Amino acid sequence: MLNVPTIYEPVIRVCPKDHDFGKVQVGRQATATVTIMDCDGCHLHISDIHLGDRTDSAFSIPDLPFLPTVVPSESSMCLHIAFCPRRKGCVSGCVEIASDDPVKPLACVILHGAGV
């Protein structure tokens, strides 16, 4: 019987996949933490993290890590997202995380919030 080595590929997971900041007073800031994980025993290479094209300007990534970066196998990194509404009303957007996951190279975190 041939002993075939197991080949691991990077698998990106983000938690949460959706975050609602709720109601935030105009001019105030709320923050959330998104965890980026590798779940398959292989280093995950993150090449880009950015706000999606249609993301409202109330959302930002204040402490963007130096890119590209690596998430070690079976490990994680935290990404902080800020929401500071400039006007009243509901807004939305997303954070896009590009990696070397061969199945899902772009992970998205959906963002919601309301300025009050």
- Domains of the chain (ranges plus CATH)? 12-103 (2.60.40.10)
The pTM of this model reads 0.88
Contact of 114 with 24, CB cutoff 8 Å: yes
State yes or no: cis peptide before 10, omega within 30 of 0.
no
**Which residues, 6+ apart, have CB-to-CB distance to 62 below 8 Å?**
80, 82
Q: How many CB atoms lie within 10 A of CB 96?
A: 16
What would the mean pLDDT of 8-33 be, rounded to a whole number?
Answer: 94
The total of other beta-carbon atoms located within 10 Å of residue 26's CB is 13
CA dist 97 and 87 (Å) reads 27
61-113: pLDDT as tens digits: 999 999 999 998 878 999 999 999 999 999 999 999 999 999 899 999 999 99
